[in-house]
Amino acid sequence: MTDPSSPQRDPDCIFCKIVAGELPATIVDQDDRTVAFMDISPATRGHALVVPRRHWHNLLEIAPDDLRATVLAAQRLAARVVERLGADGVNLLNSCGPAAWQTVFHFHVHVIPRYDGDPLRLPWTPAEGDKQEIEAAAAALR
């Protein structure tokens, strides 16, 4: 197992700077592997981000122990937004790569409280897909 206290940071990364206390952030939770802080552009009331203390670019790169800790911290915060903010639901969101909307390249999970009737909408329109295309993609994934 990797030592969670071992330094692994990117000097140009804003989330590394937040973790190190070099940039201001509204921190709401932390443990030995993770830090959670409020998103500066919240999608809904209580929108927060959970990051591993160590710098990993994205979902494909992060080490399993840090991924596990980050997801568990996100679950902890999800329970809290329901309990303390009265959220009716929660979206966890991770964007991996620019094509998937990632803009900060330090792995993070968005914890987005959802409220009945809030203005957020699915970014795609659900419509029945082509069966053959679905099967072909599945075949490539097996």
Distances (CA, A) of 59 to 62, 84, 106, 119, 128: 6, 29, 9, 28, 28
**By CB under 5 A, how many residues form the interface with Zn ion?**
6
Interaction of residue 102 with ligand AMP, rule CB under 6 A: yes
Looking at 20, 79, 85, 104, which residue binds ligand AMP (CB under 6 A)? 104
Q: Quick check: 78 and 18 in contact, CB under 8 A?
A: no
**Judged by CB, which is closer to Zn ion: 13, or 49?**
13
Give residue for tokens 């939770």.
29
What separation in angstroms does the CA of 102 have from each of 4, 34, 79?
A: 25, 19, 25
69 makes contact, choosing from Zn ion, ligand AMP, none, with CB < 5 to 8 Å by partner type, with none
Query: Is there a catalytic annotation at residue 110?
Result: no
User: Per CB under 6 A, does 101 bind ligand AMP?
Assistant: yes
Question: Binding marks (x or -) toward ligand AMP, 2..41, rule CB under 6 A?
Answer: ------------x----------x-----------x-xxx
Closest CA to 114 of 43, 50, 49, 51: 43
List residues with catalytic annotation: 108
